[in-house]
């Protein structure tokens, strides 16, 4: 039995099946039986365990890197070594497999400092420590075994200041085409306060990445990354997502790489794209991105505001009925479902982050206003969202 999900289930020509992302065989079967021409892998976890390799071996066209390339997100130590080899600007870092050595390095470096779990930790593996105590606790926490294999190694790195930006690029392993630059709000609270989340809102195209900075990101970050992967024999096709710190001097430095579309940046970036996305993806898979005409974009701006269940990113309630989805969509905003479920003819909240609402407009001001106007139509019990998304770019 397939469980019917919310969101895309309501779209025409869309059949929405809930499969386990780790069930490679089941996913391949559904793709083959339905003659699917393109399989797009969303999350990092199955990419890191080789879903693209598996599906390709079944003769399917898959958008998303193979297991080897997915290490760029799945292991921060591996990714950092790649950046060093490629000469990509990033925070200085050291990798440790033992607590004592990590603590000794911490004492020597002082604070602020950043302590990271090497492996995938669903956004919960990074501590930006302002005090030695926080950093010491973070190191102990990681080596406690709580993160399993992902916490076997700890990366300790220099604290960088500046504004964060996300540049998602598509690549066929040779040619790289960046998408419009975006910024997301990672913190749960207004004014970017409180614990980090998967992202509470995003907007594009962010002016913090100027055309000059974008050109530098292409030559100093994206091209060396792909060239170094290729030198290592890794054929990387899909999205290469550079999480960047734009330093106060305007220099781009890499915070991390991801091997997939970013959430919620994608909900702000893709609505501005005019070139059909499937053409881009197939060109990546077939290694002919270079011959694709330049990507075309709508003018104006987009802003996505995430609606979560109160309590997220810690524990949160589920099962609340969501009202007003049709009214919200009728405003012209795009309502993306992140954690919802259809229950009969009702839609209920099923995740920490429940919905993403994207407004478009000629300016950031109108895009943001349009997102919030749509949100005003939506309600559910324990609904939470930030009211200040895009404060940096509001006119």
Residue from 172, 184, 220, 350 binding ligand GLY (CB under 6 A) = 184
Nearest distance, CB of residue 13 and ligand GLY, angstroms: 27
User: Is residue 73 within the footprint of ligand GLY (CB under 6 A)?
Assistant: no
What angle is formed at CA 311 by the lines to CA 151 and CA 42, rounded to 5 degrees? 55
Size of the site for ligand GLY (CB under 6 A): 7
Strands (E), 200-352: 201-204, 238-246, 252-258, 301-313, 334-337, 340-343, 346-349
Q: Label the pairing between strands 93-96 and 113-117.
A: unpaired
Q: How far apart are CA 29 and CA 47, in angstroms?
A: 18
Nearest distance, CB of residue 59 and ligand GLY, angstroms: 30
Which C-beta is closer to ligand GLY: that of 243 or that of 359? 243
Q: Which x/- pattern, by CB under 6 A, does the window 241-280 give for ligand GLY?
A: -----------------x---xx-x---------------
CB contact set of 266 (below 8 Å; sequence gap of 6+): 168
Nearest distance, CB of residue 196 and ligand AMP, angstroms: 6
The alpha carbon dihedral of 38, 39, 42, 46 has a sign of: negative
DSSP 313-366: ES-----PBPB-HHHHHHTT-EEEESSEEEETTEEEE-SSEEEEEEEEESSHHH
Q: How far apart are CA 61 and CA 367, in angstroms?
A: 35
Which C-beta is closer to ligand AMP: that of 78 or that of 159? 159
Nearest distance, CB of residue 125 and ligand AMP, angstroms: 7
Q: Which residues bind ligand AMP (CB under 6 A)?
A: 91, 114, 116, 126, 128, 157-160, 164, 186, 196, 243, 255-256
Residue from 199, 205, 238, 252 binding ligand GLY (CB under 6 A) = 199
Site for ligand GLY, rule CB under 6 A:
184, 198-199, 258, 262-263, 265
């Amino acid at each position: 039995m397939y469980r019917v999900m919310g969101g895309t289930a309501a779209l025409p020509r869309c059949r929405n099946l809930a499969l386990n992302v780790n069930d490679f065989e089941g996913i391949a079967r559904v793709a083959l039986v339905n003659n699917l021409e393109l399989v797009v892998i969303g999350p990092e976890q199955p990419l890191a365990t080789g879903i693209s390799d598996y599906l390709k071996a079944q003769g399917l066209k898959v958008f998303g890197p193979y297991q080897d390339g997915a290490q760029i997100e799945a292991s921060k130590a591996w990714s950092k070594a790649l950046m060093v080899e490629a000469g990509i600007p990033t925070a200085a870092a050291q990798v440790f497999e033992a607590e004592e050595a990590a603590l000794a390095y911490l004492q020597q470096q002082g604070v602020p400092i950043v302590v990271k779990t090497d492996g995938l930790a669903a956004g919960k593996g990074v501590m930006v420590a302002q005090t030695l105590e926080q950093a010491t606790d973070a190191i102990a926490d990681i080596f406690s075994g709580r993160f399993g294999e992902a916490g076997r190694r700890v990366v300790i790195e220099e604290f960088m200041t500046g504004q964060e930006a996300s540049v998602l690029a598509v690549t066929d392993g040779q040619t790289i085409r960046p998408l419009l630059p975006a910024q997301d709000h990672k913190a749960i609270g207004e004014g970017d306060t409180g614990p980090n989340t998967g992202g509470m809102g995003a907007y594009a195209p962010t002016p913090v990445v100027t055309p000059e900075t974008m050109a530098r990101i292409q030559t100093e970050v994206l091209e060396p990354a792909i060239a170094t992967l290729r030198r290592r024999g890794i054929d990387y096709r899909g999205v290469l997502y550079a999480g960047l710190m734009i330093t106060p001097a305007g220099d781009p430095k890499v915070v991390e790489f991801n091997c997939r579309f970013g959430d919620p940046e994608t909900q702000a970036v893709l609505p501005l794209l005019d070139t059909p996305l499937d053409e881009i993806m197939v060109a990546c898979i077939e290694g002919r991105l270079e011959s694709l005409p330049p990507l075309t974009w709508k003018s104006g701006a987009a802003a996505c505001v995430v609606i979560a269940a109160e309590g997220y990113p810690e524990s949160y309630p589920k099962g609340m009925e969501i009202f007003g989805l049709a009214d919200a969509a009728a405003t012209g905003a795009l309502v993306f479902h992140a954690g919802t479920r259809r229950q009969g003819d009702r839609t209920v909240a099923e995740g920490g982050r429940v919905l993403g609402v994207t407004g478009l407009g000629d300016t950031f001001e109108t895009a943001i206003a349009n997102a919030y106007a749509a949100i005003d139509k939506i309600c559910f019990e324990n609904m939470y969202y930030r009211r200040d998304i895009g404060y940096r770019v509001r006119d």
